[in-house]
């Protein structure tokens, strides 16, 4: 892999200067998870899959106003070992991510929980080989809101409805860590997954101004034209997925993906501060 350098935003200058001078102690990076949800083209035609993006509300403290995939930080209850589980074990996920089984369980559960909270899509079913067909009625919506407000944990929801978490439907894609000088830092696991048959992603989260299904190629073009704004992990993931002809092909590639943490360094040069990424962000 190559590397990519980008000039730092002017508003970062003071913190970067403090960081490089050794006067800023990096904030701990909190565990988080995000899901790149894919589906076949809506018109039924063959071709590259569509990807679900939401524009984060401008009031959000992190990435406000930017397009992103559904996701969020780990909740302490996401590591509940009593959750009904189908697919690779927490220990296997831990080996994949290079972390403890408890942290891996929390990352997988956070991915499923956040996706349900923000889209109404749930990767769980009454058996280890099935998925619920719809979550669009009033009772499901009440459960979604209770999960969102933390009145209910994912484990409690699944237990109440006698459902099994379908971790085998997720593919681990990458792992991004916020640069050390930033005030809010996350160690985020990126997953890819296909929209389950019968389910529909809905704009139900108060964290989004708008949502869209679009191809990776179109999203990349919109970003290049300056009509949408994305952080490097989002646009880089889209560039990577643009090479795949289907969701199945992307999921098939996931087991061979490197999950080494990707974090930008920072350098001071004659023309200012620069972010130095350890991978090629162009594709």
Q: Is residue 275 part of a domain?
A: no
Q: Is residue 20 part of a domain?
A: no
- The phi and psi torsions of 194 (rounded to 5 degrees) equal -95, 145
**Are the CB atoms for 75 and 93 separated by under 8 Å?**
no
Least trusted range by pLDDT, from 2-6, 54-58, 137-141: 2-6
**Are the CB atoms for 179 and 264 separated by under 8 Å?**
yes
Q: Is residue 8 part of a domain?
A: no
What's the pLDDT score for residue 43?
A: 67
Least trusted range by pLDDT, from 35-49, 106-120, 265-279: 35-49
Q: What is the pLDDT of residues 17-49, one digit of tens each?
A: 999 999 999 999 999 999 999 999 876 666 789
- The phi and psi torsions of 209 (rounded to 5 degrees) equal -85, -35
Residue in the structure block whose two tokens are 């969102």: 148
Residue in the structure block whose two tokens are 């998870």: 33
Distance CA 119, CA 116 (A): 5
Q: Is residue 5 part of a domain?
A: no
Residue 60 predicted with pLDDT over 50:
no
Beta bridge partners of 277: 4
60: left (phi over 0), alpha (psi -120 to 50) or beta: beta
- With bands split at pLDDT 50, 70 and 90, how would you rate the model's confidence at 2? very low
Q: Is residue 32 part of a domain?
A: yes
Query: pTM for the complete prediction?
Result: 0.92
Helices (H), the chain: 13-20, 90-97, 101-119, 138-148, 154-160, 216-225, 232-241, 247-253
Q: How many independent structural domains does the chain possess? A: 1
Q: Is residue 235 part of a domain?
A: yes
Q: Is residue 11 part of a domain?
A: no
Region 213-238 average pLDDT: 92
Grouping H, G, I as helix, E, B as strand and the rest as coil, residue 264 is coil
State the CATH number of the domain containing residue 242: 3.90.79.10
Q: Is residue 144 part of a domain?
A: yes
Token pair, residue 193, equals: 């997954």
Range of the domain at 36: 27-258
Beta bridge partners of 6: 275
CA 85 to chain centre: 20
Region 49-72 average pLDDT: 78
Distance CA 42, CA 214 (A): 10
**Are the CB atoms for 211 and 55 separated by under 8 Å?**
yes
Q: What is the pLDDT of residues 169-184, one digit of tens each?
A: 999 999 999 999 999 9
Give the mean pLDDT of the chain: 91
């Amino acid at each position: 892999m190559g590397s990519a350098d980008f000039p730092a935003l002017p508003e970062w200058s003071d913190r970067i200067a403090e960081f490089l001078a050794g006067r800023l102690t990096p904030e701990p990076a909190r565990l988080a998870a995000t899901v790149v949800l894919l589906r076949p083209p809506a018109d039924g035609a063959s071709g590259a899959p569509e990807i679900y993006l939401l524009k984060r509300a401008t009031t959000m403290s992190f990435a406000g106003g930017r397009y992103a995939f559904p996701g969020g930080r780990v909740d302490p209850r996401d590591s509940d070992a009593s959750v009904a589980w189908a697919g690779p074990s927490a220990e296997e996920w831990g080996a994949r991510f290079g972390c403890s089984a408890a942290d891996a369980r929390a990352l997988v559960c956070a991915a499923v929980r956040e996706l349900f909270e923000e889209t109404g899509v749930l990767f769980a079913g009454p058996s280890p080989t099935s998925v619920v067909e719809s979550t669009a009625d009033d009772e499901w919506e009440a459960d979604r809101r209770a999960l969102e407000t933390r009145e209910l944990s994912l484990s409690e929801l699944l237990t109440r409805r006698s459902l099994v978490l379908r971790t085998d439907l997720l593919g681990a894609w990458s792992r991004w860590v916020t640069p050390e000088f930033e005030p809010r830092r996350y160690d985020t696991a990126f997953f890819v997954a296909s929209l389950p048959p019968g389910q529909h992603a809905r704009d139900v989260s108060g964290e989004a101004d708008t949502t869209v299904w679009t191809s990776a190629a179109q999203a990349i073009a919109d970003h290049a034209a300056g009509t949408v704004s994305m952080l490097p992990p989002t646009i880089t993931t889209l560039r990577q997925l643009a090479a795949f002809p289907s969701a199945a092909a992307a999921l098939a590639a996931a087991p061979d993906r490197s999950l080494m943490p990707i974090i930008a360094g920072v350098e001071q040069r004659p023309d200012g501060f620069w972010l130095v990424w350890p991978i090629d962000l162009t594709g």
